[in-house]
Structure 1
Amino acid sequence: MRVFFPSLQWALFILMSSVVVPIAIASNYGLHDIATIEFVQRTLFVLGLAGILQVLFGHLMPIQEGPAGLWWGVFTLYAGLGTVLFGSHNETLRVLQYAFLLSGIIFIILSFFGWVEKLARLFTPTIVGIYLILLVAQLSGSFFHGMFGLNGENHTVKLGVLLLSLLIIILSYCFMKIPKIGHYSVLFSIVFGWLLFYIFDFSKPVTEVNQFIKPPEIFAFGIPRVEPNMIIMVFIITLLLLANLLATVSVVQQVLKRHNVRTYNNRLKQTGIISGVNQLLAGLFSAIGAVPISGSAGFIKTTKITSRKPFIIGSLIIICISFFPPFTAFVAALPEAVGYAAIFPVFASIISLALQEFEAVKNKEILFRVAGISLFAGIGTMFIPSEAFAGISPLLVSILSNGLVFGALIAIIVETILNRINKTAEIGK
């Protein structure tokens, strides 16, 4: 039981933070119910396998692989542009399969030639802390939309859903205080939350499927369609994904070190290569590109589950679920509000991790300047609607439409400039 419950909790955490994205993308591309379940199925398979590959051959840490927010943005962007550029939604999905395969190759090349180590030097405690705050700011919109009962079909607040969501959050914090079950607060919150939603008739019906077992399909949308015009954009996105990878690995390392768990600082090349393999898997299985999720740090901090074994078993559970469409349909029916409310304390704790990163910074004056400029720019960008970028190059859209990426880039540039100015001033003295 000491391994089973932590493993189940890892599996549920991966599900809660992964299922929403493929369902939203499937809706944007007009996929019917069965096609949506199959898309979720393939995505879960890739995410579970990606996590195992990283923990065994990459960074060697229990870090969840989830749908990359950047790729989500690309899917959303081309849901509108794709029909004009490529002719239909299905043709667009074929092009995106090619984009994943290309990204995987670029990832492997950059990692093999040591670019990962060079980029890692840019991720100082200041940058990592700012990245975490921007991450929470970006995710908070999705969290509160879900907990207010807002989705594609409903555009008004459901008071009952909101009240039950608040109750689940309170229960989650209460579970954390109970000595013997505190480590399983996410698990208990999901079970109790789903039961409450069922009792008050806020649960979703489970989609009926005809097959009991179905392996993930290769190139489900057809053979990848090569589009040379995508190369530059995919290269930029890969660099940004690499930046996300480095930030996540850094913050999880810090959390594990505080729990006296051994970590490896010389695994960046292997981590980058495995990330490239994971992008290739996404293209091969017509899924969503995986990326290490910084929320894993909050999960470990909240649950105190630091061992790799429960994570590996939890990822294997995700892979097993992906082979059985009825189970995939069942987990896809979990109310979004329950998932968001149950993991609310996990992501709320990320703010404290960011503040701990800031404590390690010696020059607080530069820290405050960098944080002020980048947070203002990044969070401000999050309020600009995606349709406002319709007339701009897709390459620029991938940066400007993502407040997390834009703010993090601003932070790196401003910190680099201010540090050079400061060094020049010290030399002048």
Structure 2
Amino acid sequence: MSKLSTSTTIFASLQWLFFIFANTLVVPLSVGAAFHLSAAVIAVTLRTSFIFIGIACALQGMIGHRFSLMEGHSGLWWGLILSLCSEAAASGMTYTRMGGALATGIILAGVVSVLIGWLNLIPLLQKLFTPMVMSIYLFLLSIELILIFFKGMLKFTSGGSLDLPVSLFSLALVIITSVISIKGKGMISNFAVLIGIIVGWVIYSLIFGTSQQAALGGGLKFTLFPWGKPNFEIGIVLTAFITGLLNLTNNISSIKAAEGLYGYSISSKNNRSSFIITGLLSMVSTVFGLVPNCPYASSLGLLESTRILDRKPLIIGGLLFAVMGLVGPLVSFFTTLPVTVGNAVLFVAYMQLFGTAMKSMKSQQFNSKTIFRFAMPLLLGVSIMNLSPVVFSSFPMLIQPLISNGLIMGLILAIILEMSVKWEAFEEISEPTH
């Protein structure tokens, strides 16, 4: 890996800063709103999230897995938390009761992650999360994220119809960013994401105006356990704990995919450090009302687009992001980034993740029988993703959060199929001729 020039490092660091920002901003805002937290608490949570995520990225880059993989709020956890909040009223459970149980489950799952790294149990975990399971996870993750960003880049009127001017602008930005990424030469192509965000932000502001945000100045007055004090509401705790264990697939799949991209395997020490850091950060995050962390497999999309694999820009970008969280007015300025612009550019960046998933399957060949090991969990997960959580309201509250999550259910089915069926016995079966 050739050494980056100073100018390339500066621009690559800024690109990581914007990438981290675009992936982080919506999460604490949406979770705070879901728990009906006060504006003051949400503002502090947002700044804490910036500091927390920035430090986490730097730690993983320096002493964890040491790849250019963003450490951020887990999409799996984010989806589960929003789903639980939307169902809280119907279940008769208060937000603080549910939030406290979530905190308990997250802390327990964090302890398990630390123990896995400390006791070097990762090889046992890798036997459970086989390459096929990891491939299915990458496909489901890319589909889920693309759906989120596609909906996020569109704007809707109060009546539920599309706001055509803004939505068409987002589609145009997708095309422009894609063209820059595909046809741009050298540095231009490498910084397509950064260019797309800046250009899109400026043009959007000129056409539609700048969104106004509340000032986030002043000191950081932390509220401990803003979701609710830890408790043992068994159904929520169990769901959170299982989600935490499944979330470890992010560590395995992200590192495995990064090893393929970088062309070498990391040491056992770094692998263990990655799990310990993620576990410790998960435990600390819930104290401040933040969604637990994980390495972002989606970072591979940015790496594929830019072809800049050096970890220095990620570390610098992460530290800049943490510093940004300490400066209230600066956070206020960056929160004026139009959500539709951020989602449109990320929609392009995350297309590469789908390519990473496809590459993970290049050595696989299927016939009419073995296709079930791949198609069944993938299509089940996608089908559930397209159903409203209300569909599952007749099921017991204990299992609703699990069965209504397409990514979780697809992943669980993939693990079951891999553990219970000897697919090798069916691989030599010839196909009928016509």
Shift of 1:361: 2.5
RMSD, aligned α-carbons: 2.7
Cα separation, 1, equivalents of 2:214 and 2:265: 42
**2:75 is the counterpart of 1:69:** yes
1:165 to 161, 165, 170: 170
Find the counterpart in structure 2 of residue 46 from structure 1.
52
Deviations 1:255-289 (A, max 9, x none): 222xxxx4405243322211111102202322111
SS at match of 1:66: strand
Q: In 2, Cα distance between the equivalents of 1:186 and 1:424?
A: 42
Contact 1:41–1:216 under 8 Å retained in 2: no
Shift of 1:16: 0.8
Distance 1:371 1:216, change over 3 A: farther
Equivalent residues of 1:382, 1:403 under 8 A apart: yes
**Structure 1 counterpart of 2:418, one-letter code:** E
> Are the aligned partners of 1:66 and 1:291 in contact in 2 as well (CA < 8 Å)?
yes
Task: Write the letter of the residue equivalent to 1:157.
Answer: L
Matches of 1:356 and 1:346 in 2, distance apart? Answer: 17
The answer on whether the counterparts of 2:149 and 2:346 sit within 8 Å (CA) in structure 1 is no
Alignment of 1:99-178 (within 5 A): 99-150=105-156, 155-176=160-181, 177-178=184-185
Equivalent residue for 2:422?
Answer: 419
Q: CA deviation at 1:65?
A: 1.5
Aligned residues: 419
Q: Which amino acid aligns with 2:311?
A: R
8 A Cα contact 1:399 1:406, kept in partner:
yes
Question: CA offsets per residue over residues 155-180 of structure 1, 9 Å max, x none?
Answer: 32111112211221222123321323
Gaps of 5+ in 2: 1-6, 430-434
Gap regions ≥5 residues in structure 1: none
2:347 equivalent among 344, 349, 372? 344
The Cα offsets for residues 371-426 of structure 1, whole Å up to 9 and x where unpaired, read as: 22112211011122112333434542332122112112222322344435618999
Aligned partner of residue 187 in structure 2, secondary structure = coil
Q: In 2, Cα distance between the equivalents of 1:297 and 1:388?
A: 34
1:215-226 alignment to 2 at 5 Å? 215=220, 217=222, 219=224, 221=226, 224-226=229-231
**2:35 aligned residue:** 29
Cα shift readout 1:5-31 (whole Å, capped 9, x = no counterpart): 101101111111121122221222223
Residue in 2 aligned with 1:401? Answer: 404
1:12-411 pair list within 5 angstroms: 12-80=18-86, 82=88, 88-150=94-156, 155-176=160-181, 177-201=184-208, 203-211=210-218, 214-215=219-220, 217=222, 219=224, 221=226, 224-227=229-232, 229=234, 230-257=236-263, 262-266=264-268, 267-361=270-364, 368-411=371-414
In structure 2, distance between residues paired with 1:181 and 1:52: 26
SS of 1:291's partner is strand
CA contact (8 A) 2:76 2:247 kept: yes
TM-score, structure 2 normalization: 0.87
Amino acid at match of 2:376: I
Percent identical across equivalent pairs?
24
Partners of 2:221 and 2:55 in 1: CA distance: 12
Counterparts of 2:346 and 2:240, CA distance in 1: 31
Q: CA, structure 1 residues 2+48, in 2 after alignment: closer, same or farther (shift >3 Å)?
A: same
Counterparts of 1:47 and 1:404, CA distance in 2: 23
